A and B are shown apart, each in its own frame.
Chain A
Amino acid sequence: MSYGRFLLKRGLQGVVVVWGVVSIVFVLRFITPGNAVDAVAPLDASPELRERIAAELGLDQPLYVQYLDYLWELLNGDMGYSYISGIEASQMVFSKLPATIELAVASSIIAIGLSIPLGVISATRRHEPADYAATTFSLVGISTPNFWLGIMLILLLSVQFGIFPTSGRAFGFIEAFRIAANQGVGAGVDAFYQWLRFITLPAVTLGTYFTALITRLTRSGMLEELGQSYVRATRAKGLPESLIRYKHALRNTLIPVITVLGLQLGTLIGGAVITESVFSWPGLGTTLINAINTRDWPILQATLVVIGTGFVIVNLVVDAVYAYLDPQVVAE
Chain B
Amino acid sequence: MISPRTLRNLRKELRSSALAKIGIVLVLAMILIAAFAPFIALHNPTNQNLDENNLPPMGFSRTTEETTSEMVNGSLELTNETVYVNASASHPMGTNSLGQDVYSRAVYGARTSMMVGVLGTLLAAVLGVSVGLVAGFYRGRVDDALMRFADVSLAFPSLVLAIALIGLWGRAAVDVPDPFVVLGLVDPVRSALGLPTGMPDSFVLPGTVIVVVGLVNWVWFARIARGEALSIREEEYVKAARALGASDARIIGRHVLPNATTPILVLATIQVAAIILLESSLSFLGFSGTTLSWGFDISQGRAYLSTAWWIATVPGLAIVLAVIGVNLVGDWLRDALDPGIEGEGVSEMADEILKVRNLTTRFFTEEGQVNAVEHVDFDVRDGEVFGIVGESGSGKSVTALSLIDLVETPGRITEGEVWYRDADLAEEHRDSHPEAVDGDYVDVRQLPEATRRWLRGPAFATIFQDPMSSLNPSITVGEQIAEAVEVQRRARANPRRTRSRTQGYGLGRLIAGAVLPSQSYVSEESEERAVELLERVGIPDPEQRAEEYPHEFSGGMLQRAMVAQALAGEPDVLIADEPTTALDVTIQAQILNLLTELQEEEDMSVVLITHNLGVIARMCQRVGVMYAGEVVERGSLEDVFENPVHPYTEGLLGSIPDIEDPAPRLSPIEGNVPSLLDAEMGEKCYFADRCPKAMTSCLTDIEEHEAPAATDDTDHLVRCILADREYDESEALGSAAKQG
Interface residues of A (CB under 8 A from B): 16-17, 20-21, 24, 28, 32-33, 139-140, 142-145, 147-148, 151-152, 154-155, 159, 223-224, 227-230, 232-243, 246-248, 251-252, 255, 263, 266-271, 273-274, 277-278, 288-289, 292-293, 295, 300, 304, 307-309, 311-312, 325-328, 331
Contact = CB atoms under 8 A, between A and B. Distances in A.
Given A270-B281, A304-B164, 4 more contacts: A144-B320, A144-B323, A269-B160, A274-B159
B474 A273 contact: no
A325 B475 CA distance: 9
B155 A308 contact: yes
A293 B167 CA distance: 7
A291 B150 CA distance: 26
Which of A278, A292, A312 has the most C-beta atoms of chain B within 10 angstroms of its own C-beta?
A: A292
B487 interface: yes
What is the interface of chain B mostly: helix, strand, loop, or mixed? helix
Interface in B168-212: 168-170
21 contacts: A17-B151, A17-B155, A24-B152, A32-B169, A33-B168, A142-B327, A145-B284, A148-B298, A224-B341, A229-B469, A230-B471, A233-B565, A236-B461, A236-B464, A237-B456, A237-B484, A237-B566, A240-B498, A270-B157, A307-B160, A308-B156
A304 B156 contact: yes
A122 to B, nearest CB: 14
Contact of A32 (B158, B168, B323): B168
Contact of B461 (A228, A237, A269): A237
Contacts of A143: 273, 320, 323-324, 327
B158 A270 contact: yes
Contacts of A140: 320, 324
Given A230-B469, A232-B464, A238 B458 contact: yes
Interface string B254-275: 0000000000000000000100
A114 to B, nearest CB: 16
Which of A140, A230, A274 has the most C-beta atoms of chain B within 10 angstroms of its own C-beta?
A: A230
B510 interface: yes
Interface residues of B, number: 93
B319 interface: yes
A113 B276 CA distance: 28
A325 B328 contact: no
A289 B458 CA distance: 66
A273 B483 CA distance: 47
Nearest to A293: B167
A151 B302 contact: yes
Contacts of A154: 305
Interface of B: 148-149, 151-160, 163-165, 167-170, 273, 277, 280-281, 284-285, 295, 298, 301-302, 305-306, 309, 312-313, 315-316, 319-320, 323-324, 327-328, 340-344, 401, 404, 406, 408, 453-458, 460-462, 464, 466, 469-475, 480, 483-484, 487-488, 491, 498, 501-502, 505, 507, 510-511, 513-514, 521, 549, 551-552, 562, 565-566, 568-569
A119 to B, nearest CB: 15
A234 B472 contact: yes
A331 B470 contact: no
Nearest to B151: A17
Contact of A238 (B157, B469, B488): B488
Contacts of B306: 159
Contacts of A233: 462, 464, 470-471, 562, 565
Nearest to B317: A148
B474 A327 contact: yes
B341 A20 contact: no
Given A20-B151, A230-B470, A236-B462, A271 B319 contact: no
B163 A273 contact: yes
B456 A235 contact: yes
Contacts of B455: 238
A152 to B, nearest CB: 7
5 A-B pairs with least C-beta separation: A238-B457, A270-B159, A292-B167, A20-B152, A270-B157
A51 B487 CA distance: 81
Contacts, number: 254
A328 B473 CA distance: 8
B327 A237 contact: no
B456 A238 contact: yes
Contacts of B156: 21, 24, 266, 304, 307-308, 311
Contacts of B169: 32-33
Contacts of A139: 324, 327-328
A147 B461 contact: no
Contact of A273 (B157, B305, B462): B157
Given A159-B306, A229-B466, A243-B502, A327 B280 contact: no
A97 to B, nearest CB: 14
B487 A227 contact: no
Contacts of B315: 148
A300 B164 contact: yes
Contact of A28 (B164, B491, B502): B164
Contact of B316 (A152, A232, A243, A270): A152
Contacts of B316: 144-145, 148, 151-152
Contacts of A243: 483, 487, 502, 505, 510, 521
Contact of A247 (B401, B471, B521): B521
Nearest to B270: A142
A294 B484 CA distance: 66
A33 B170 contact: yes
A119 B505 CA distance: 22
B483 A152 contact: no
Contacts of B149: 20
A139 B154 CA distance: 25
Contacts of B277: 145
Contacts of B565: 233, 237
Contacts of A267: 157-159
A293 B171 CA distance: 12
Contacts of A16: 148
A197 B172 CA distance: 41
A90 to B, nearest CB: 18
Nearest to A32: B168
Contacts of B461: 236-237
B472 A292 contact: no
A144 B323 CA distance: 8
A276 to B, nearest CB: 11
Given A237-B569, A240-B498, A28 B328 contact: no
A309 B156 CA distance: 9
A145 B302 CA distance: 14
A151 B305 contact: yes
Contacts of A255: 474
B474 A145 contact: no
A235 B456 CA distance: 8
